[in-house]
Chains A and B, each alone.
Chain A
Amino acid sequence: MSGPELGLAVSVFLACAVEAVEALTIVLAVGATRSWSSALYGAGAAVIVLAAVIAGLGPAVTALPIHALRVGVGALLLVFGLQWLRKALLRAAHLKALHDETAAFEAEAAAARGHARGVARIDSYAFAVSFKGVLLEGLEVAVIVLTFGGNQHRIGLAAAAAGAAIIVVVAAGVAVRAPLARVPENTLKLVVGVMLTSFGMFWGAEGAGVSWPGADAALLVIIAGLALASAVMVAWLRRAPQALSEAA
């Protein structure tokens, strides 16, 4: 496996794992309070829709001209990656609350308990909430699979990495029978943000006509440089919130 392919697999695995943890919390909440079968049907239906999106759009993405594909992929990865990175850095600097899976589980369960039950065999509320939760959490992963995989013509590898992450998270959820509150979600999000932004920079610039010094090795320098810059920005945010407020 080449360096960029390894980067692809790790990035997709981590991104999918983080989103799967959040989706699992929703499925567990409606499953435990309403109906396990309906919640699982909803989650399964969403996974089928996401797989269909990847299978349907994958060939179209890989058929695009390489320069146009790289600019488009680079722009998308940069926009997504900078969003992930910004939120993760703000959380690391204690300027934004950490995502609390236990609190999210309690809120989702309370909403599920307060909703009236029907008499049908399938609990439509549990199905719909589970379906929507998995679909929304998974949509960004589907785009990451398509962009990362399409650019390297390795959509199968990207999809396999995403599938492996889902299996790991579901197995962990079944083992602990509770929301995965101990997963260091923000650290994973920070790593994913660095990876998406770095690949976005690398491919976007290549698509725009740039030849990177050192070719593919430049990617490692970009990743290391962005990780270092992220650490510096967290330190800056932790030390200077008052200065930022005064400058406003």
Chain B
Amino acid sequence: MSSLATAARAVWDFIVGDDWATAVGVLAALGITALIAGAGAVAWWVMPVAVLGLLALSLRRAAR
């Protein structure tokens, strides 16, 4: 493995850890929040709902 790939892997492990689905979910939730807020609708509820859902799913995956 090249040093660049090793460094990229280290950064990935450091930031994302062992649960990439949660990281992707966080980015998706922020994107959806921006879309709803940009359309002028109330969007504050999106992140709490998304975070609780992502945490519950992550715990379910880990507990299996």
Number of A-B contacts (CB under 8 A): 99
In chain A between 232 and 248, which residues have their CB closer than 8 angstroms to a CB of chain B? 233, 237, 241, 244-245, 247-248
In chain B between 10 and 38, which residues have their CB closer than 8 angstroms to a CB of chain A? 14-17, 19, 22-23, 26-27, 30-31, 33-34, 37-38
Number of A interface residues in the complex (CB < 8 A): 42
Residues of B contacting A: mostly: helix
Say which size band chain B's interface belongs to.
20 to 34
Partner pick for B30 among A93, A95, A208, CB 8 A cutoff: A208
Which 4 pairs show the lowest CB-CB distances between chains A and B? A209-B37, A208-B34, A208-B33, A248-B64
Whether A85 contacts B17 by the Cβ 8 Å rule is: no
Q: Residue B8 at the A interface, CB < 8 A?
A: no
Whether B15 contacts A71 by the Cβ 8 Å rule is: no
- Interface residues of B, Cβ cutoff 8 Å to A: 14-17, 19, 22-23, 26-27, 30-31, 33-34, 37-38, 43-44, 46-48, 51-52, 54-56, 58-60, 62-64
Q: How far is the CA of A75 from the CA of B25 in the complex (A)?
A: 10
Give the Cβ gap from B50 to chain A, nearest Cβ, in Å. 9
